[in-house]
Amino acid sequence: MELTSEEKAALNGEQGETLQTAYRILVATGEATNADRLVPIEWAHLSGVNYNTIGDAGEEFLREISKDARVKVKTTVNPMGFDFDHISEFKHIDDEFVQKQASIRDSYIKMGVDPTFSCTPYDIFDLPEKNTQVSFAESNAAIFANSLGDLKTNKESAFSALASAITGKSPYSDLRKDEITTPMTIRMKMDNPSELDFGMLGFFAGKVGDTSVNISGVSKPNRRSCKALCGGMGTSGTCAKFQFVDSDENTSEKVDFGKEEMNEIFDELNTTDKGDLITLGSPQLGLEEISDLSKMLKGRSFKKRCMVFCSRAVQNQARNLDYTNEIERAGGEILSDCCTCLTPLIDTNETDSVTTNSIKGAYYLKNSTGVGVNLKPLAKIIEDETQ
Amino acid sequence: MSKIIVQGKAQGTVLKTSNPINFLGAVDKQTGVIRDKKYDIFEKSIKDSILVFPHGVGSSVGAFTIYSLKSHHSAPVAMICQKADLTVASGCALANIPMIVVSTEEFDSIQNGKEITLDTKSEKIFN
């Protein structure tokens, strides 16, 4: 990779240890993605905020680096482990977790990030103009940015996005270029797919696709299904972009996604036919999804506990527009700054299984939280779990 | 040696898997033990090994897992992949774990359980 003299100096430590570390990360990720230089980015989105995922080593690292690291560009951050406004209602979460989570939050704020604590930055802010270079670490957000937002990003890691935030730069990798080769088309062989089906399509595409895939046989769905597709794809593989196409003629590899492939994924992630509680929001719900949910819940009430995850910004907008009343009346608990994935809010001593419509949520509930998973589309959850 | 991602020299026993690794989901961040049953190295520890695997997958937070392993002295001494991905590359860069990408033939020729030395300066893997 060719570096400017200024970049070389920073890599040699002439601007301090923090920038040296940041440039070391950018060079390694540049080598990994065949980049020949670094380019400026305008927005970084960081992962690695939940104490449950980064642990003591992560907490200490952030405390140390935040002493002098400051972000150079607009920087948003992923969810934490829980919602500080509601922590007293979750007695099983110990003080140490709360303190370590607060330390992580404070370290990021000290570095100058916008405290969004959301995996859906695209639901909070207007997206910059077409082809703008950004660095998004949250996988669903990176895929959304590339595929639906007309932006350019690698599927960044927690550290490569942090290095981009601190330097304002990222390797000029293949995904950042105007032309991306997409050798594979996935042919959707299913009528009227639900958001759950799109999540499974994404999970499948992540497994079989490399950097970018085409999807044929279905037109672009609504936003909820698009988010489900991004979430599923980000969970299972390295694929960072998809596009809906009319024909599979221009690609050398063609793979079908039909009933059989779908059932295989369903059986991998669905482990039980009933949940002790419901979680909605992985990725966190946007304003439109909250509005839809409030309409679906009109006159109905949840028969069991239901956690509804959305960003703080979306919750505030939803409160102003009175969308939250109906959800809370129906028994839904609206939680912000956290998400289904890897939240310690689900008490595994009391919860054996969770009902959700999210493939991303299902994967982490099953493999990381360690509970049973009952997968259903939202319409079916409302039908079965409310009265 | 097709490509050096993170420079360095290491000696250790090869632990080889045919599964792409999801560091966040499948590796215990303190002990380095693989805890996902679907992996062919399930219940094995990656600590002090030369970890040979196709590539990383899954959450971007996996980079923190690699850093955490290093802090707990449970990290591999080096990593050899078939394809480089940002999570593993950046985790190794921060944790100073030598990492290289090799061709499919070289990847196939590396034997599990063998003691090897890796030196990015001489661009060689010694048996």
Q: What is the DSSP string of A113-154?
A: -B----S-HHHHS---STT-B-EE-SHHHHHHHHHTS--B--
Average pLDDT over residues A367-373: 92
And the tokens for A87? Answer: 């922590």
CA distance A101 to A111: 16
Domain boundary among A204, A235, A267: A267
Answer whether residue A73 shows pLDDT above 70.
yes
Domain holding B112: CATH number?
Answer: 3.50.30.10
Number of domains in chain B: 1
**Structural domain span for residue B91:** 3-126
* Banded pLDDT at B1 (limits 50, 70, 90): low
Q: How far is CA B115 from CA A202, B41, B111, in A?
A: 40, 18, 9
Asked whether residue A60 falls in the same domain as residue A201, the answer is no
Active-site option among B18, B49, B59, B60: B59
With an 8 Å Cβ cutoff, are B92 and A237 in contact? no
Per-position b or e across A336-366, b if 16+ CB within 10 A of its CB = bbbbbbbbbbbeeeebebbbbbbbbbbbbbb
Instruction: Report whether A171 contacts A266 (CB < 8 A).
Output: no
A292 and A168 share one domain:
no
Q: Are residues A369 and A228 in the same domain?
A: no
Q: What are phi and psi of A83, to 5 degrees?
A: -100, 115
Chain A (134-173) residues lying within 8 Å, Cβ to Cβ, of chain B: 137-139, 154-161, 163
The model's pTM: 0.95
In a shared domain, residues A21 and A47? yes
Closest CA to A134 of A174, A163, A161: A161
On the question of pLDDT at B127 being above 80, the answer is no
Cβ-based contacts of B86 with chain A (< 8 Å): 29, 32-33, 154-157, 160
For residue range A330-344, what is the model confidence (pLDDT) as tens digits?
999 999 999 999 999
Contact A156 B55 (CB under 8 A): no
Record the tokens describing residue A188, joined without a space.
């959707």
Gap between the Cα atoms of A65 and A327, Å rounded: 41
Report how far residue A272's alpha carbon sits from residue A254's, in angstroms, rounded to the nearest whole number.
33
Beta bridge partners of B12: B116
pLDDT one-digit tens code per residue, A201-216: 999 999 999 899 999 9
Q: Residue A64: which H helix or E strand, with range?
A: helix A51-65
Domain count for chain A:
3
Domain end residue (candidates: A233, A267, A301): A267
pLDDT digits (tens, 9 = 90+) for A94-137: 999 999 999 999 999 999 999 999 999 999 999 999 999 999 99
Kindly report the CATH number assigned to the domain that includes residue A370.
3.30.499.10
Residue B20: its chain A contacts at CB < 8 A?
237
Inter-chain CB proximity B61 and A155 less than 8 Å: no
pLDDT of A281 > 70? The answer is yes
Domain CATH number, residue A92 = 3.30.499
Report chain A residues whose CB lies below 8 A from the CB of B30: 55
For residues A301 and A359, state if they share a domain: yes
Tokens 């992540």 appear where?
A206
What integer pLDDT is reported at residue A102 of this predicted model? 98
Helix (H, G, I), strand (E, B) or coil at A348: coil
Provide the token pair at A132: 């703008």
- The answer on A135 and A197 residing in a single domain is no
Residue A179 pLDDT level (bands cut at 50, 70, 90): confident
Structural domain including A321 reads 270-385
ipTM over 0.85: yes
For A212-258, the pLDDT digits (tens) are: 999 999 999 999 999 999 999 999 888 999 999 998 888 899 999 99
- Look up B59 and say whether it is catalytic: yes
Q: Is residue A148's pLDDT more than 80?
A: yes
pLDDT tens-digit series, residues A35-70: 999 999 999 999 999 999 999 999 999 999 999 999
Q: Of A21, A60, A235, which is closest to B58 when you measure between CB atoms?
A: A235
Helix axes A139-147, A223-236, angle to 10 degrees: 120
Averaged over B43-57, what is the pLDDT? 96
